[in-house]
Amino acid sequence: MQPLRRVTAALAVVVPVLALTTTSGAAAADPLGSAVVGAATSLGAVGAPVSGSVEAVPSGSHAGSVAALDAGSDAAFGLGASSDSAGAPIGACEGPAPHVTTFGATPPPVLGWTENMAFDAAGRLWVSKTFLDRVDAYDDDGEVIASVDVRAPGGIALGPDGRMHVAAGTGYLADRSDLITFDPAAEQPEARVEARLGSRKNGLAVDADGNRYLTGLQDTTLTKVGPDGEVDREWSQAAAIGVSNGIAIDGDTAYVTQPTDRAVVHAVPLDRPGEWTTTELTAPPTTPRGLDDLDITAEALYVTSWSSGEVYRIDRASGEACVLVGGIPRATSVLVADGFGDFGSGDLLVTSLHGPIRHVARE
């Protein structure tokens, strides 16, 4: 396994949850929701901007095709047939290779893009289907048992209020984003708009108090929306980590991925958003791995790579990272599936831009 790199920045902050001695990036005074020019973004307060967001595929008439989306992401990093595929610095996890199967029906490529997923209180799996403009609920046999119309859904999470919370307006063609909620227990769930937000919000997580946190592919900050539906602008301006993609919350810390020419995970204290820490999995000249969404257990972080189709396991005690599974084209999110039907404690579900949901069995 590969120990994570440490990034040195302005404020030294220890993150006991990850047991890493990374240091913090103090936020620049970027305005909330300011656009990022091209694919450029900042990496905390480490110094010069970094570039190359894997999500920075131009919108247009070809944005919905497999070839265009794949070519766009490959172009961002120089990946593809001519790339140095041996450049990945992270080795395989120890033990036997996981067994990977398809969960549920196989959707049409790209049109069936599965972006994110979350369990509700009843144990049903809700999956965001971006180009189909809906969120589907699955039982543990892989059958769709409910659907809710949501425009270009992205990040989804269960809130302490029992409602599902969704970032709407994700993707390459969206011109705005909304924060949507719905009651998954209703006989016919209906989406409700709770906040109108800037364009291309993507990841979403909810804390124990009902605050919603959203990442943005065109923002320099995270966005916090309170239970009342109002944006906390002071908090959001302080969390100026740059372009961000995946987000998950554990206790009082948000873990956020940044898909640039450095593959990094930020740990953002919810009560001190300007004092985040940054941990690198890759850095130039190593071929980058554009990170997407993630999930958390007491032992590890599980992080997807949209550009390489890998799922990484980051040990929270040692800070070591390894490749748990590869070969999942355009992996977009991962979810620990322990207790879902007959799924085992080591089982994961992985969504992808190409559509199929994978069941990764490790036992």
Q: What is the CATH number of the domain that holds 210?
A: 2.120.10.30
Determine contact, residues 181/192, Cβ cutoff 8 Å.
Answer: yes
Q: Tell me the pLDDT tens digit for each residue of 307-316.
A: 899 999 999 8
pTM exceeding the 0.75 threshold for the entire prediction = yes
232: in domain: yes
124: in domain: yes
Structure tokens at 253: 């810390």
327: in domain: yes
Determine contact, residues 227/210, Cβ cutoff 8 Å.
Answer: yes
Backbone angles phi, psi at 280, to 5 degrees: -95, 135
Residues in Cβ contact with 290 at an 8 Å cutoff, skipping those fewer than 6 apart: 53, 54, 55, 73, 76, 77, 245, 259, 260, 263, 305, 306, 307, 308
Low-confidence ranges of the chain (pLDDT < 70): 1-89, 172-174, 363
43: in domain: yes
Domain count across the chain: 1
State residue 231's pLDDT score: 97
Determine contact, residues 356/350, Cβ cutoff 8 Å.
Answer: no
Residues in Cβ contact with 225 at an 8 Å cutoff, skipping those fewer than 6 apart: 179, 194, 195, 197, 211, 212, 213, 214, 231, 232
Alpha-carbon distances, residue 197 vs 111, 180, 270, 300, 363 (angstroms): 25, 11, 20, 32, 42
> Strand 201-206's sheet: what is its strand order?
201-206, 212-216, 223-225
116: in domain: yes
Q: What domain range is 92 assigned to?
A: 2-77+87-361
State residue 172's pLDDT score: 67
Q: Tell me the pLDDT tens digit for each residue of 292-346.
A: 999 999 999 999 998 899 999 999 888 889 999 999 999 999 999 999 999 998 9
148: in domain: yes
**Alpha-carbon gap, residue 252 to 184, rounded angstroms:** 26
Q: Tell me the pLDDT tens digit for each residue of 190-223.
A: 999 999 998 789 999 999 999 999 999 888 999 9
Residue 344: CB atoms within 10 A of its CB come to 12
82: in domain: no
